[in-house]
Chains A and B, each alone.
Chain A
Amino acid sequence: MSKILMKGNEAIAEAAIRSGCRLYFAYPITPQSELIEYMAKMMPKVNGTFIQAESEVAAINMVYGAAGSGKRVMTSSSSPGISLKMEGISYIAGAELPCVIVNVQRGGPGLGDIQPAQGDYFQATKGGGHGDYRLIVLAPSSVQEFADMASEAFDLADKYRNPVMILADGMLGQMMEPVEFKPAKTDAELQELANQHLSWCICPNADGDKKHHHEINSLELDPQVLEKHVLDLYKKYAEIEKNEARYETYNVSDDNEVLCVAWGTASRVVKSAINEVMKEGKSVGLIRPIRVWPYPYDAIKQAIGKNVKKVYVFELNSGQMVEDVKIAVEGKVPVDFWGKLGGVVFTPAEIKEKLETCF
């Protein structure tokens, strides 16, 4: 397959369809509207279902129903709409349903603006909805990766019966870059996907089978039983933490005097800045968490070689992931943070200036 120049919002939609997503429910919001518009156009062509819901609350509950029916289902929104989905996400996590949620983040809090931001890190990785639960959170930094994460997200969701969020931002949604798509799932593969959850999902009784009774539910009034349920969830989360952390290293070596940590869009700007300071003979490395939950604590710990004097975290928020970096660093070296807010994206020159103060 050759490369196609495409917006991130459209690429993730196309990739989701190729990954077997045939149900999509969402409500328009900038800067993710191209995603819903692409689904409106393409879902009918693959006999899929597209519904523009009356609200994000309705959309996520449509997802709850479809995921409870064992089908690959997705919704998408941007920050204010994701806040509305949080109730439903908590129910989905509690009922252990697989689904994919895309957040094309914009500046907040409140109505904020529509420019790229990373202010929803806490919401995505530390809760957002109520109760003890975890979302698997993938953080793309290019249009290609955004698209690739569609099938990854569905596979993870199915494997762990857990909601998976793709945490992008307005820049990744609006930007065009070349993408190469994986081949679309074949009919046989789609059939296999449709059957994988029959042991627990809402589905008709198969011919000759004993009548089944499946419950899609997060209610449990007996505290002992609920406690056990949550403990079981946390066993699952421990498994996910053990197996599923992913990160990229950029220029990481024993020579590094500064180690940067950045994710998503911010990491691209940091890479440009590192390229520049390297020309001045300064050694700076970057760890980019590709998934922000589970978080690659060990990778960061190991990357602090003998020479690292400082860990520098750059985010498009007021300092959220930096808290995880501090957990990883365990106080061994100072951790500094610099960010831009309100949808303002820092430039390579600004990051370079910050890095130069470290030498």
Chain B
Amino acid sequence: MTTEMICAGFGGQGVLTIGKFIAQAAMQEGKNVSWLPSYGPEMRGGTANVSTVVSTEPIASPIVSFPDVLVALNQPSIDKFAHSIRPGGVLIYNTNMCPRGCQREDIIQIAVPMNEIASEIGSMIVLNMLATGIIIGKTNIIKYETLEGNLTSFLKEKNPDLLAKNLAAIQRGIEIGKQYA
């Protein structure tokens, strides 16, 4: 079983972190993983994307051409990657930043006003964790508990308030994702 995922958005929206947290947790759960970011000056203010592969088999190519899951935090990301989603795959996108959305009908679209929900929770910083939650709710790619453990050991001392907000965002995302599972 292999899940190939691309997360894309503006540099600074934390897309690389989405992939990293999922890869990290999946690794701890005994899966094979790879995380391959776009890099270079294009990331300065431009777009960033990361290919993440999670598999029960050894991973041959870490390059994802036809993702099972695309997370698009802005419209340019849909324009660039949505056509390559495998038929039957999943597109998770931020309606607040993707005015035109996506026309494909052979994929499952999860359209979520992520900016709104993030500011409801109390900070735009948690937008990427909201997206991570949606991925988990839809695909069960990792367990919530693994991610919670990692975030807790990372943030508990440093910033307990941000930890609480992040966990709230993930839980909220999972609820949303589950509606499509």
Residues of A with Cβ closer than 8 Å to B?
Answer: 3, 5, 30-31, 113-115, 170-171, 174-178, 268-269, 271-272, 275, 345, 347-349
Contact = CB atoms under 8 A, between A and B. Distances in A.
A174 to B, nearest CB: 5
A113 to B, nearest CB: 8
Nearest to A106: B40
A178 B39 contact: no
Interface in B61-78: 61-63, 65-66
A272 B61 CA distance: 6
A174 B33 contact: no
A175 B62 contact: yes
Given A30-B40, A347-B65, A349-B65, A5 B33 contact: yes
20 contacts: A5-B20, A5-B23, A5-B35, A114-B39, A170-B39, A171-B63, A174-B39, A176-B20, A176-B23, A176-B35, A177-B35, A177-B59, A268-B60, A268-B61, A268-B62, A269-B60, A345-B63, A348-B61, A348-B63, A348-B65
Contacts of A5: 20, 23-24, 27, 33, 35
Given A171-B36, A268-B62, 11 more contacts: A30-B39, A113-B40, A174-B36, A174-B37, A176-B36, A177-B33, A177-B62, A269-B61, A345-B63, A347-B61, A349-B65
B115 interface: no
A30 B40 CA distance: 8
B34 interface: yes
Contacts of A275: 60
A268 B40 CA distance: 23
A308 B26 CA distance: 39
Contacts of B66: 349
Interface of B: 20, 23-24, 27, 32-37, 39-40, 59-63, 65-66
A115 B27 CA distance: 27
A58 B76 CA distance: 44
B23 A175 contact: no
A30 B38 CA distance: 13
A277 to B, nearest CB: 12
Contacts of B59: 177
B60 A272 contact: yes
A115 B40 contact: yes
A31 B38 CA distance: 11
A164 B63 CA distance: 29
B27 A31 contact: no
A271 B60 contact: yes
A176 B24 CA distance: 10
Contacts of B24: 5
